[in-house]
Chains A and B, each alone.
Chain A
Amino acid sequence: MAQYTKGVTEQFGGEKTTVGWSWRLLVFTSVIFGIALFSYVGMTFGYAPILERQISDLDARARDLSQLVSADDQKNLAKFYSQLVNLKALLSNHVQGSKLVALLERNTNQNVFYTKVLFASTDRQAELEGTARNYAELVKQMEAYRQMKEVERFFLVESQVIEGGGVRFKVKLFLAPDAIKAKAS
């Protein structure tokens, strides 16, 4: 009869605990579900529209900003800027003819006369034709070319003694890159 020593309350005590636990689980899952639902609704119908409104406000601000400077002003400013940039580039490579003239004047022997000068700025080549009193004067002139810092190299193309005295010659000078540019000193 030992199995009948427990009372009825004690016998069904365990059953009571199981019901309380599942009730608490239900409350817990309901809270979780509630939070999830609230988050979803909050994000979809609350936060997302606010962010979208902020984006459209920023777009409107950007549009307003672009209208602050008129198209004419933008065009004029771009033209002005372009002129400055282009002019700067042009002036830094400005070829000055007077420098070539001065260069030849400074470095020509008194007994040498030029009859033809041909200069092309693209290859910086000057082709000179002239007459020297004699070969000694021509050699002096070659030495003068050699000493010119504006001349990178030169060579005598041809020379010939002419009737009535003198030597006719043709020489090619290769000028240094900045020899006749504005920025050269």
Chain B
Amino acid sequence: MLLATALAILSLVLYSSFISGEYDTIQRLRGEIVSRTQLVNDQEAAVKQVQQLITEFQGVTKLQETLNLSLPARENMPQALGQLQGIAAANNLTLQSMGVEILPFRVPPTGAIGGLAKGLGTLRINFRLLGTHESFRAFATTLETNVRVFDLFRVDVTHGGQPNQDLYVYNLSVDTYYQQN
């Protein structure tokens, strides 16, 4: 009878001090397994998608090159200035002066997945052109379809030369962009 009571007490002690603690540990481990399995499955699906994207992305190198021209990874100031000068010359406008301001980085657009989008750097190019109205119209059209994005920020047109002469002075500020590294 005494031994039976002792065994019963021992069983209770074993349950309350050891088994219930160990059971909690087992439950925690099982919970971890469920969550990690889910994580690994998600990761596996994501990796598959990324691999597929990379395969597709390697097949569109032309698009990649165009993107690098439209939105370079660095300021690439000479390219921007060269393009402006080239467009002006092609449209018979005389480039009289040019200056560049580097503006603070813009925050990436909202809605990008997982904060993957980087900030946008802006180069503001201030320049002065001299030429006819027709030339400027052609210049403006070419500028907005140029491969590197140029946004007109400010334009100040004043009549130049004789009163009846088709000659204007164009003080322009345009913004062009690059991606933050």
Contacts and interface: CB of A to CB of B under 8 A. Distances in A.
Interface of A: 22, 25-26, 28-30, 32-33, 36-37, 39-40, 43-44, 47-48, 51-52, 54-55, 58-59, 61-62, 65-66, 68-69, 73-74, 76-91, 93-98, 100-102, 114-122, 180, 182
Interface residues of B, number: 65
B73 interface: yes
Interface of B: 1, 3-5, 7-8, 10-11, 14-15, 18-19, 22-23, 25-26, 29-30, 32-33, 36-37, 39-40, 43-44, 47, 50-51, 53-54, 57, 64, 67-68, 70-71, 73, 108-109, 111-113, 116-118, 120, 136-137, 140-141, 143-144, 149, 151-159, 177, 179
Nearest to A37: B14
A86 B73 CA distance: 12
Nearest to A26: B4
B2 to A, nearest CB: 9
Contact of B153 (A66, A85, A116, A122): A122
A48 B152 CA distance: 67
7 contacts: A22-B4, A48-B22, A54-B33, A85-B109, A85-B111, A86-B108, A101-B137
A175 B118 CA distance: 31
B154 A120 contact: yes
B116 A81 contact: yes
Given A32-B7, A33-B7, A86-B118, A76 B57 contact: yes
Contact of A39 (B19, B25, B117, B149): B19
B179 A86 contact: yes
B29 A52 contact: yes
Ranked nearest first, the 5 interchain pairs of A and B with the lowest CB-CB distance are: A97-B140, A29-B7, A51-B29, A89-B109, A97-B152
